[in-house]
Amino acid sequence: MNRLAVLASGNGTNLQAVLDACVDGRLPAAQVVAVVVNHRDAYALERAQRSNIPTLYHPFYPYRQDGRSRSLYDADLAALLEPYKPDLIILAGWMHILSMAFLKYYPGRVLNIHPALPGTFPGMHAIERAYEAFQRGEIDHTGVMVHLAPDEGVDVGPLVLQREVPIYPADSLEDLEARMHETEHELYIEAIAKVLAQLVPNN
């Protein structure tokens, strides 16, 4: 059984997609063994608790307040996860750029999803920026990508899967967001299954 740890900062819809896929057979050889949130009000926390998944709260604010480094925060995060022996780290709206102090423990085992195609709209508010570009006549589609996170680059890394998402003339921003999120939930499960098929589980 492949052990997944999910890191989330917000609503946790991609976390829910993973939890559902572990139950309904789309990820039959996987289980979520821990969920980490860095905001106390993250709804992802409730989603995990409803599914009886162990949860960890690891906020960055106390580190920043005390002058402790981001690298120390990430090293402590790795230490928190170590007892759970995750085979794969799933970033599900994790609003924190992981440093090598964490990533070095999981080479080729940290997976991120971003609501844009490779090389377009890195960083925050990618869907809104794509919608604005569409309104300016610069693009007629956007997309979703899933990639490995081997280093501290923002929304770059070896591509696992990508899928184009059309933008229609009558779309509101909310219409596009709904279509993007639906694509995210499907594509992430496919990408996780693909990566897990290539991994040797930790024992």
- Residues serving a catalytic function are 114
Using alpha carbons, select from 11, 203, 14, 13 the residue that is nearest to residue 111: 14
Cα(177)–Cα(145) distance, rounded to whole angstroms? Answer: 15
What φ, ψ does residue 46 adopt, rounded to 5°?
A: -65, -40
Report CA-CA distances (Å) from 145 to 113, 174, 183, 185, 193: 6, 20, 10, 11, 15
How far apart CA 173 and CA 133 sit, in angstroms, is 12
CA 100, chain centre distance (Å) = 17
How do 141-148 and 110-114 pair as beta strands? Answer: antiparallel
